[in-house]
Amino acid sequence: MTISEENNFSDINKDEDVFVFPTSYGQKRMWFLDQFEPNSPYYNIPVAFKITGKFQKQFFMQTINKIIERHESLRTTFANVKGEPFQVISPELKINIPLIDLLSHDRNSIDQEVKNIAVKEARAPFDLATGPLFRVKLLRLSEFDHVVLITMHHIISDGWSMGILVSEI
């Protein structure tokens, strides 16, 4: 249903093309836990992988945004409607992927810096109401070596779906 078709969802301040759906049992459980302990990283699912070879950031960003276009869960947030969670699926979402350039680091410190950034990223909380509920960061180690960090909230993904996402990239 669209928001304009259902008066009970007037609490959701979104465009008319946004779609609202009930949550699954698991999503509802995670949403309630998030209400009790907001800004918790406990349900973050991080993954990191290395890309070696010629790399063009604009093509990588296009790839990620095409994947977002195909998978509704990546465009989903969770609204509180009279104390109950509902999935809100936006028709469109484009993200910008930050590039962290580590070229100035010496070879001995680069691995530790990658680890520090990955841990910080994995621990950063998500806001279930505003989203997006996944993040992508790109670390440039050298002209031909990059590390991709993806973090998703478990409310929209699990380990299996994260594997699918990585294989699509």
| pLDDT per residue as tens digits for the range 27-76 | 999 999 999 998 899 999 999 999 999 989 999 999 999 999 999 999 99
Structure tokens belonging to residue 125: 């909380």
Q: Which residues contact 111 (CB under 8 A, 6 or more apart)?
A: none
Q: Residue 103: how many CA atoms within 13 Å on its side-chain side? A: 7
**Other CB atoms within 10 Å distance of the CB of residue 3:** 21
- Among 3-12, 77-86, 105-114, 155-164, whose mean pLDDT is lowest? 3-12
Residues 16, 22, 24, 25: is their CA dihedral positive or negative?
positive
Helical H segments across 7-53, by residue range: 25-36
Q: Which fold has domain 3-168?
A: Chloramphenicol Acetyltransferase (3.30.559)
Distance, in Å, from the CA atom of 58 to the CA atom of 118, rounded to the nearest integer, reads 22
Domain ranges of the chain: 3-168
